[in-house]
A and B are shown apart, each in its own frame.
Chain A
Amino acid sequence: DVKVTQSSRYLVKRTGEKVFLECVQDMDHENMFWYRQDPGLGLRLIYFSYDVKMKEKGDIPEGYSVSREKKERFSLILESASTNQTSMYLCASRLGGTSGYSTDTQYFGPGTRLTVL
């Protein structure tokens, strides 16, 4: 079974703090994604990565950065957390790459509910 894990289910931080959200997948997937999900707005892509050290901006990258130093791990960083970054954050992975196809299933982690006070 593909497994995508996220470091925390719930996180509470204060405005201005630097926040790290970590995601690990165990299926040697090339593609990894970070989304946030808010009521009425659906899933919005923040960043994605298709290889180690490679990243692409999604639709709402402002205020976020990412790091992918190892294939299995994709980190989302909030440099200076703000209250409008309170949200559910979902990580996902998909095989992709030269071995994959557009038909590959994308698997989601359980999510991290982040509250910024």
Chain B
Amino acid sequence: QKEVEQNSGPLSVPEGAIASLNCTYSDRVSQSFFWYRQYSGKSPELIMSIYSNGDKEDGRFTAQLNKASQYVSLLIRDSQPSDSATYLCAVINRGSTLGRLYFGRGTQLTVWP
């Protein structure tokens, strides 16, 4: 059973600050990682994916992967109230085309004006 752990939060940051969301996983074979954002009452939508060690940037979002320490994080720079949502971390084994994503329970983020 693969375990994906996230701080449940809530994480509260002021507008303009950096929000840091963390995720750890138990299976060393896990090699593809995804961050989903879920607004209240809506379904999850993909915002970032990362497969290699290091940082991957997309606009205000940066995903960081450290396979040796088995964690992946998501940084949101210049946080906006519209970033307030639950963020889900998901992992899958590389090469697994038939397999499933394993999700963490999510971290609730609130960005206050």
Which residues of chain A are within 8 angstroms of B34 by Cβ–Cβ distance?
A: 105-106
Interface residues of A in 1-54 (CB under 8 A from B): 30-31, 33, 40-43, 45, 48, 50
Give the number of residues in A that approach B within 8 Å (Cβ atoms). Answer: 28
Q: How many cross-chain pairs have Cβ atoms below 8 Å apart between A and B?
A: 61
A42 with B97: in contact, given A90-B43, A102-B32, A106-B46 (CB under 8 Å)? no
Which residues of chain A are within 8 angstroms of B101 by Cβ–Cβ distance?
A: 94, 106
A31, B7: Cα distance in complex, Å: 29
A69, B109: Cα distance in complex, Å: 40
A72 to chain B, nearest CB (A): 18
Q: Which residues of B contact A (CB under 8 A)?
A: 8, 31-32, 34, 42-46, 49, 51, 88, 90, 92-101, 103-106
Q: Which residues of A contact B (CB under 8 A)?
A: 30-31, 33, 40-43, 45, 48, 50, 58, 90, 94, 96-98, 100-111
